Amino acid sequence: MAATLLKTSLLCVDFHPRNLLGVTCDGHGSVLITCKGVVKLFNVLDCRELRSWTTKSWNPFTAPAVCDPSSNKIVAVTNNSTLSKWNQDEDDVDKVKRIVFETSILQLLVCGDTVYVVFTSGQVENLNTALESRKKAKPGFLGEEESLSYVQIVKDAGLIVMLVKDKNRSHKLCVLQLQETVSSYCHSYSLSLENAHLTGVCALSSSKLITLWSTGRLHIFDLQNEHLEKPPGRQLAMETSIVTSKNTKILELSQSHIAIVGLDKGDEGGLLVLWDIKFAMVTSSRKLKMYQNPPLAWVSSEGIIVAEGGSLALIQYRVQESNLATMFGAKISEAKEFPSEVCHSWAKIKGIAHQDIVPKEATETICFNKNKELCQIIQELNKGSLSESILVADVVNRLIEKKRLLLLNETVTTFCDIPESCLIDVLDFYMHCKDMEFEGLCEYPHLQMEFEPMEEDADKIVCPFSAAKAHFINRVLKEPFTNAQLLIYLPRISFDHSLILIQYLNYLIVTGEAEVCPAEEVTVPTLYQVSTWLSLLLDTNYHQLVMTSQVNIHRLLLSCFTQVTNVLKFLEGVVDMEPLVDRIVKAKSLSKHTHTSAVYSLEHLSVV
Amino acid sequence: MGEFTIHNIRFYDFEPKAIQCMAYEDETNRLALSRADGSIEIWNCISRPFMQLVLHGDTHTSIEALQWCKGRLFSAGLNGFLLEHDLATSGVKSCTAVTGGPTWCLALSADKKKLAAGTEEGYVCIFQVLEEGIIYENSLEKQEGRILNICWHCSGDYIVTGSMNCIRVWSLKEGRVTRCSLGQTSGDEEIIVWCVGILDDMTVISGDSRGAICFWNAKLGTVTDVVQTHKADVLCLVVCPDQKSVYAAGIDPVITQVSYVQTGSKKPKGCWMKSVLRSVHTHDVRALALTKDEALFSGGVDTILTMTSYPPKTVIKFPPQLYPGSISVAGEAESILLRYKEHLELWQLGSSSEDSSPSARYLPISQDRVKLLELHCRKDEVIDWCAMSPQAGWIAYIVKGNLRIFQFYPPKLGSHPSVRRVRGISKEIKNSWQVLWLGEARLASASTDGIIQIIALSEMEANLQTNLTVKPGCNVIQMNCNPEGSVLVAVDDSQNVTAFDLDQGTSATLPSYTCPVTAIGVHPSTKDIVVVYSDMMIKEYCLATQRYTPFCREFLSTNSLNSVKRNSVIHNVTFDSRNPNLILLHDDSSIIVLNKTKKITDQNFSKAAKIQCSYSSSDKGGISFYKSSRVNNIGVFSFIKRSNQVIYFSYVKDKSAVSVELNPLQLLDKLPPALKRKKYGGV
């Protein structure tokens, strides 16, 4: 599966983006959010604040606080040149001893178990070393009019990558050798591109430097093989969805994936784009409410943390090593002799059996787990490598032409990605077929054909299809779909057939065949699926239903209304029960206000 | 000590109405307030404020203005009449037509001899207030537009009125009108002057639809200060006795104090500035009333009467009270009679099959409540009072003083419940405003002329048995009796408590007390009379010895509920017939049990220790059930805090009691939307 962005959750709300200095991870699933006046420790998993430490306004934090892994203490910089270090159970930060440095501190970096102090002069020192020599000036290598705009430690290569900006706004890439005590200056390169200025940079853990330029060009430069090419290295791709003339932020998600946050080209807000740098392709993107300049985004083990308006949001992501099969979204069609050879991952690892490194989805080809006859039809189509959704459309058309009901059912069952148009075509075809044609084709569960409602004057509810036909139709109704897409194709079903379908869906709700959470083996669609189909059918045929003068249609609609109201009442009851169940699950004592809203209750009272 | 099964009734659709206007009289410490249904409530504020009297209104009219004058209450409304209410009989003493039709406002002159009324058609009518009644004196020159508010200068020579776009200052001596024009903001938008006030130095104060308080020089007709206090219309304002502060509120419900301050050190210059804000209401505030101690009463659409004062910051909210005679419980029949405007509902209470030692706080209902009867009155009539006999055999209700009595036949096998009206009511029976059943087939009726009539009933007719009189010149305002109906106790408007032993034909007057009575009760077995006063003092009086009981003398005289800081008064006294030592009381938020057997000392009483009491626990099938509720034991009192407002509580029978409650959130749901205010971080 291709890398993708998952759900967004709200992490923290009470801060102003202008005051936000940065977010760092503490290595225990928590993050430290540093604003000018406060450091907050957040648990990312449940988005809860664990601790916070405030400082006086005349003593503000000036760099993101970090957690020292060796001592588990919080280290923060205040007033540019003062360092504070405190335990997590410390209440008053202002009472903690402050260590004043001669040279201003730019930021703190954590690499392994060590905290490094980056001075504005360009000097990088181990925290302990820096503390010992705090009264000494840190000369560094930067000139008077130069300043650091980016610092990153590449641990595996033992390098510190720095981006130096001079007064002419031109950039210089400096590489330092990471030392245990004081890091030593190694060499520097000029970082420029004709007619473009640098808007984003990221040093990857694989010793590669990704740069994004105002023209949209995304370059990659190998820091360890610098003799082979000149910075900014070879062009990787063109970024087209982000306004690259504005500042962007590039985050490393994995060795093969990066995320770029910038101003959305088509819209006013921001945009988060997930890039696969191996294939130089965008695999996922997410719009953000606002664009901050420079973008406020950080990566933690749980997801990407971005400033969304006045809050911090956590966008979870999933990255996996890509291969062709996962990149192009569909399962590659069966090759004749060697089904899975063509879609092997080329990430060969020594000592691991060949089968083990083949991704699961690569072996699950289009002919996997399918009837021989169906495979033959797919082969006959001879379409080569096609996405499943395009292929299934042809297969369905062919099967409808041939009136192969059983194979259609299998198609619907075995294919995963069925376009909505196909679902409608299959359903319409089933509706045209007579009940008899479905008999004896396969085994189907028993269905109660008639239902006597509890209400005295209510009509008997009858299933409009035979049990066999209903089984086939259920299979289609169970398939996932997008509402908006289905609405486009639903008018293909005639009004008469729509009415019968509405009647059937009503029958499923009334009889309780459609369950809220059915067992896995149940072939009847869920209540949610039934109600969605019902809603879309009513929506599609709204005018005909409104204008009709037929009493039986009105009765049908009234019955639907009654059932929906009943379900609604039931669900409201369930919602009422929710806090009670929640308390039981959390083993909390029950609220003393239980029953206080009942219109009439009997209460036992004992006065001691 | 006491095991009870409480019937929690929340299906009584008690819908309090918005407060329209208020008037406070410092001399008698009484507050009169009118509600949107035309009823007037008289609140006694001598000690803790409580609703003492209700003057039921007519559904077709509204009361727009109230005014006290030497203990007499005047009201005016859209019916175009100026009414003087008789607080003794709860009726109307006199009714005078006002020139100009619907009346919006009333004002009393400083010498309390004249009343001015502002009308829809632009007339200001002046009335003379005499002992015998009111006499129309004259009308001032008709002006364009309705007169929404009026006030009288302390000299009595000037009247200020508020209308659309202007304020008028009327000189009664010179017959001249000065018009202070507000101008128009933009386009044709009119500025409505909702409220006006005038200071002794002829500074006119106005509150208008822009949300501004304007201060005018009445002589010149010019604005001296404008304070933008509210985001929407200012509907009411009140001037402090020291004339240095003004309180105002309106659709924006924040009560804002605007104070006169001196600025500058060399040449002090006075100006009016926004001062303390009080956010105590959720919806429009329509009326404000100020006492001489600067306690501010406010009320409006949210139906809650609030008393605030500062300093120290004090906010006391008085939720809407149930009108007396709204609920009647038939103890023997375990039924409850609920009064609505145009009908009565009789409900049979439910029951539980749970054994005597129930394990859960809420009991399973084996037999649900049943509505036995819905008795409607005639169209356009409003039921003022209802009562039901202890065995639910008789029902009586009062419509405009007329007594209607019905015999109720409960449902039997194969038959529906039915009622039959007793039509043969003796002519000797006078109009009454309160009735009380003395057992079955005997009724005590408090007539409007201050006599208690004991009425005997048979199937077909009601005959006067005897007349009882309280202190001459006094009128009965509250009655109660024991379940047998042998002892009747009545409170009159002079706060005398008179007990009548109906079997022996004797009567006794209880020792007088400084505070008004809020609740009375007669013990079913000992026949002791329990009286609760508005200062929360409880007195127990033995009728046989005609003295306070030893318990009362030894303990209650020194330790009252007063030491427990509660703002609500006791509304009802009832008794547990199984245990003569228990007295059950209730206020707005709690059921209070007084246990006379508790051995206490002064020390533990004064400390008022909070004890977290769990309910009795029992094991059932190895599982232990605990009932969770808070019972605070303070001395002899046990306070059972309820989450809803308790509007009625009464003992029923055996171990059952009934508690009629009102969920404040339900009340909030019925209210119209409030002024939307943007909140930081909110929607």
What is the tens place of the pLDDT at every residue in B303-317? 999 999 988 889 999
- For residue B628, the chain A residues in CB contact (below 8 A) are 589-590, 592
Chain B residue with minimum CA distance to A598: B10
Residue B607 has pLDDT above 50, yes or no: no
Hey, which residues 607-626 in chain B have their CB within 8 Å of chain A? 613, 615-616
Query: Does B357 reach chain A within 8 Å, measured CB to CB?
Result: no
pLDDT for the residue B606: 43
Q: Which residue has 């003004």 as its token pair?
A: B246
pLDDT for the residue A291: 83
- Alpha carbon of residue B91 to chain centroid: 17
- For residue A594, the chain B residues in CB contact (below 8 A) are 361-362
Beta strands in B251-369 (DSSP E): 255-263, 269-278, 285-290, 296-300, 305-309, 314-318, 327-330, 335-339, 343-348, 362-363
Residue B671 has pLDDT above 70, yes or no: yes
- Strand bridging mode A461-462 / B343-348: unpaired
pLDDT for the residue B184: 57
Residue A333 has pLDDT above 60, yes or no: no
Nearest to A509 by CA among A564, A441, A574: A564
Do the beta carbons of residue A342 and residue A335 sit within 8 Å? yes
Contact between chains at B363 and A602 (C-beta distance less than 8 A) = yes
Mean model confidence pLDDT for chain B: 87
pLDDT for the residue A591: 57
Hey, which residues 195-234 in chain B have their CB within 8 Å of chain A? none
pLDDT for the residue B221: 84
Contact between chains at B368 and A600 (C-beta distance less than 8 A) = yes
Q: Encoding tokens for residue B266?
A: 């060399």
Nearest to B519 by CA among B508, B527, B509, B530: B530
Do the beta carbons of residue A431 and residue A405 sit within 8 Å? no
The percent of residues in chain A predicted with pLDDT above 90, rounded, is 18
Structure-model confidence comparison of residues B520 and B361, the more confident one: B520
Q: How far apart are CA A240 and CA A243, in angstroms?
A: 8
Question: What is residue A95's three-state secondary structure?
Answer: helix
- Smallest CA–CA distance, residue A603 to chain B, in Å, is 4
pLDDT for the residue B610: 42
Mean model confidence pLDDT for chain A: 82
pLDDT for the residue A307: 87
Question: What is the distance in angstroms between the CA of the first residue and the CA of the last residue of chain A?
Answer: 67
- Nearest 5°: CA angle at A301, between A295 and A303? 50
- For residue A600, the chain B residues in CB contact (below 8 A) are 7-11, 350, 365, 368-369
Residue B458 Cα distances to B155, B405, B443, angstroms: 63, 11, 11
Q: State pTM to two decimals.
A: 0.58
Query: Does B651 reach chain A within 8 Å, measured CB to CB?
Result: no
**B510: DSSP letter:** P
Hey, which residues 295-354 in chain B have their CB within 8 Å of chain A? 350-352, 354
- Smallest CA–CA distance, residue B524 to chain A, in Å, is 21
Contact between chains at A600 and B6 (C-beta distance less than 8 A) = no
State the CB neighbour count (10 A cutoff) for residue B130. Answer: 9
Contact between chains at A607 and B4 (C-beta distance less than 8 A) = yes
Contact between chains at B628 and A605 (C-beta distance less than 8 A) = no
Contact between chains at B352 and A603 (C-beta distance less than 8 A) = no
Nearest to B586 by CA among B327, B341, B397: B327
Q: Kindly report the backbone phi and psi dihedral angles of residue B456, in degrees, each rounded to the nearest multiple of 5, phi listed first.
A: -100, 140
State the CB neighbour count (10 A cutoff) for residue A440. Answer: 8
- Alpha carbon of residue A89 to chain centroid: 34
Structure-model confidence comparison of residues A567 and B211, the more confident one: B211
Structure-model confidence comparison of residues A506 and A45, the more confident one: A506
Hey, which residues 81-140 in chain B have their CB within 8 Å of chain A? none
- For residue B6, the chain A residues in CB contact (below 8 A) are 602-605
- For residue A602, the chain B residues in CB contact (below 8 A) are 5-8, 350-352, 362-363, 365
Do the beta carbons of residue B451 and residue B486 sit within 8 Å? no
Tell me the residue length of chain B.
683
Q: How far apart are CA A494 and CA A496, in angstroms?
A: 5
Q: Encoding tokens for residue A427?
A: 């359903």
Residue B620 has pLDDT above 50, yes or no: no
Contact between chains at A606 and B633 (C-beta distance less than 8 A) = no
Bond before A339 cis per omega within 30 degrees: no
pLDDT for the residue B603: 44
Facing residue for A602 by CB, picked from B350, B595, B629: B350
Contact between chains at B5 and A597 (C-beta distance less than 8 A) = no
Structure-model confidence comparison of residues B563 and A226, the more confident one: A226
- Smallest CA–CA distance, residue B515 to chain A, in Å, is 30
Contact between chains at A593 and B663 (C-beta distance less than 8 A) = no
Tell me the residue length of chain A.
608
- Nearest 5°: CA angle at A584, between A578 and A588? 115
Do the beta carbons of residue A257 and residue A250 sit within 8 Å? no
Contact between chains at B365 and A590 (C-beta distance less than 8 A) = no
- For residue B350, the chain A residues in CB contact (below 8 A) are 600, 602
Residue B509 has pLDDT above 80, yes or no: yes
**Amino acid present at A404:** R
Do the beta carbons of residue A1 and residue A318 sit within 8 Å? yes
Structure-model confidence comparison of residues A405 and B359, the more confident one: A405
Structure-model confidence comparison of residues A510 and A372, the more confident one: A510
Print the SS3 string covering B155-191.
CCCEEEEECECEEEEEECCCCEEEEEECCCCCCCCCC
ipTM of the modeled complex:
0.83
